[in-house]
Chains A and B, each alone.
Chain A
Amino acid sequence: MLLIPCPWCGPRNQIEFTYGGDATVQRPGNDAPEAAWEAFVYMRDNPSGPHDELWLHSAGCRSWFKLRRDTRTHDILGSARMGDELGGESP
């Protein structure tokens, strides 16, 4: 079981959370070229190792936050509120 540290509520069971995918993709500007939109919507680094991702504490505080997790081991390396920087080992 993953024990996910919600930055608002503290460590909770993974069943309280909903996954939201890669937290590093940035929405391009409205006038960005098509390739930038393709990269934003579809292309992912999909790293084997530390991965910055979004989670929603759907059965708790209902807040989105960032989590850094190792995709090889499922070890959780840190979490942060949306505006803040993630600590732990950099991806």
Chain B
Amino acid sequence: MRYSIFSLARNALTHHQHWPLAWRSPAPKPRYDAVIIGGGGHGLATAYYLAKEHGMSNIAVLEKGWLGGGNTGRNTTIVRSNYHLDPNAHFYEYSLKLWEGLSQELNFNVMYSARGVLNLVHSPADMDAAMRRGNAMRLNGIDARFLSRDEIAQWIPNLDCSANARFPIHGGLLQPRGGTVRHDAVAWGYARAADARGVDVIQQCEVTGIRVEAGAVVGVETTQGYIATPKIGIAVAGHSGQVAAMAGLKLPIESHVLQAMVTEPVKPVLDTVVTSGAVHFYISQSDRGELVMGGDLDFYNSYAQRGNLPIIEHVVAACLALFPSFGRMKLMRTWGGIMDMTMDGSPIIAKLPVNGLYMTGGWCYGGFKATPASGWLHAYTIAHDQPHPLNAAFTLERFAEGRVLDEKGAGPYPWAH
């Protein structure tokens, strides 16, 4: 059923008792033309674009838990494309363009809100770096504006822009088209749209092995039995290394825990996304009114999906230094997600060195905003058995070749990106 004002009115007359399920829950078939491992945003988007752009509908998405129960439901919903290096800038800008039309594309309201993403700068050196990045963005056709301290103070009155703030604000780099998207809706919208094109979305089906014969994949072992397939796409975020190891591969990736937290809901107090690289902090207000915030990794390898208190204390301290008036609010929840941190801080969307095996991963903190373009390019790479120009730089081989995409210049220390 197409969602519209008419379907809403029709179902209102029957007290909303007869809405059809948004997607089926089929049993797995013995064979598919392609299998996508991971039913988060990236896996579901891959399946959707394989069906829509490449005419492949005999495909399955296998999810070990429930749809969007991993990082799709754990991120802080921010989308932006304010990157410096060309491959990253072009890729994330393509993603942002897909976000702008995604609700119409999927016939599902993903609540894209172009409220802007403001990167605060706190020193003259910080300002030079932000100006340089802003100019690089504009040369790549991406919107960027530098705001003075006075402009920021007028726009965001509860931000401490005074000269004696703990971290004095010198200005900020704004990407007006950046903003937020309702994260769960992304998984649900892609699942529904993929299902409508014949994709089998199978939950509670964990992949336990990848069968490789003569250097090519032939199928996957799962908790619901063996499934034969000539093409496998891996879209499992923090567990990329674990799944790639099933095919005998090692990746330049470490898994780290990143925490986020929300306060109790309040009336609108913040109508943009504010970030500060200097204090490792970002904050926005959800449509429910909660202040959503986060900061740095916990800085040690983890698969635990929960972190420790020192980082929470750091995030809250940074919040109060920037927004003293938020000090009376209560923190409601904290949680952690497992980031697949690559050695250069940039993703891997590529054909792997086993025939028929592909991956989209190594997302570091950037996975959510990449969802549509990641799925689009992963699907392209699977369908054509070669990358699109937009993901040609995101190979696994770039590390051996010395073509790393190190946006921060932090070196091969995954927790430093």
Contacts and interface: CB of A to CB of B under 8 A. Distances in A.
26 contacts: A2-B308, A13-B310, A19-B299, A19-B415, A35-B400, A38-B400, A41-B343, A41-B399, A43-B250, A43-B251, A44-B241, A44-B252, A44-B253, A44-B254, A45-B241, A46-B242, A46-B253, A46-B255, A48-B239, A48-B255, A48-B303, A71-B255, A71-B302, A72-B304, A73-B304, A74-B308
Given A2-B308, A15-B310, A71-B255, A46 B241 contact: yes
Nearest to A73: B304
A23 to B, nearest CB: 11
A43 B254 CA distance: 9
A35 B310 CA distance: 38
B412 interface: yes
Decide if the interface of chain A is mainly helix, strand, loop or mixed.
mixed
A1 interface: yes
B203 interface: no
Interface of A: 1-2, 13-15, 18-19, 21-22, 34-35, 38-39, 41-46, 48, 51, 53, 69, 71-74
A14 B266 CA distance: 34
Contact of A1 (B255, B308, B415): B308
B222 interface: no
Centre residue among B251, B400, B412 by max chain A CB count within 10 A: B400
Contacts of A74: 302, 304, 308
Q: Name the 6 nearest CB pairs between A and B, nearest first.
A: A42-B252, A46-B241, A42-B399, A38-B400, A48-B303, A42-B343
B308 A51 contact: no
- Range for the number of chain B residues in contact with chain A: 20 to 34
A53 B301 contact: yes
Given A19-B415, A35-B400, A38-B399, A46 B304 contact: no
Interface string B245-258: 00000111111000
Contacts of A18: 299
Contacts of B242: 46, 48
A18 B241 CA distance: 24
Given A15-B310, A44-B254, A46-B255, A71 B400 contact: no
Contact of B254 (A2, A13, A38, A46): A46
B250 A19 contact: no
Contacts, number: 70
B300 interface: yes
Given A45-B250, A71-B301, A71-B302, 10 more contacts: A2-B300, A39-B250, A42-B400, A44-B251, A44-B414, A46-B251, A46-B255, A48-B255, A73-B304, A74-B302
A38 B414 CA distance: 15
Contacts of B241: 44-46
B252 A14 contact: no
Contacts of A44: 241, 250-254, 414
Contacts of B310: 1, 13-15
Contacts of B254: 21-22, 44, 46
B309 interface: yes
A39 B253 CA distance: 12
Nearest to A4: B300
B413 interface: yes
Nearest to A21: B413
Contacts of B399: 38, 41-42
A73 B302 CA distance: 8
Nearest to B239: A48
Contacts of A43: 250-252
B400 A34 contact: yes
A55 B297 CA distance: 16
A86 to B, nearest CB: 15
Interface string B376-417: 000000000000000000000001100000000000111100
Interface in B242-300: 242, 250-255, 299-300
A78 to B, nearest CB: 15
Contacts of B253: 44, 46
A19 B400 contact: no
B301 A14 contact: no
Contacts of B251: 43-44, 46
A41 B255 contact: no
B412 A19 contact: no
B206 to A, nearest CB: 14
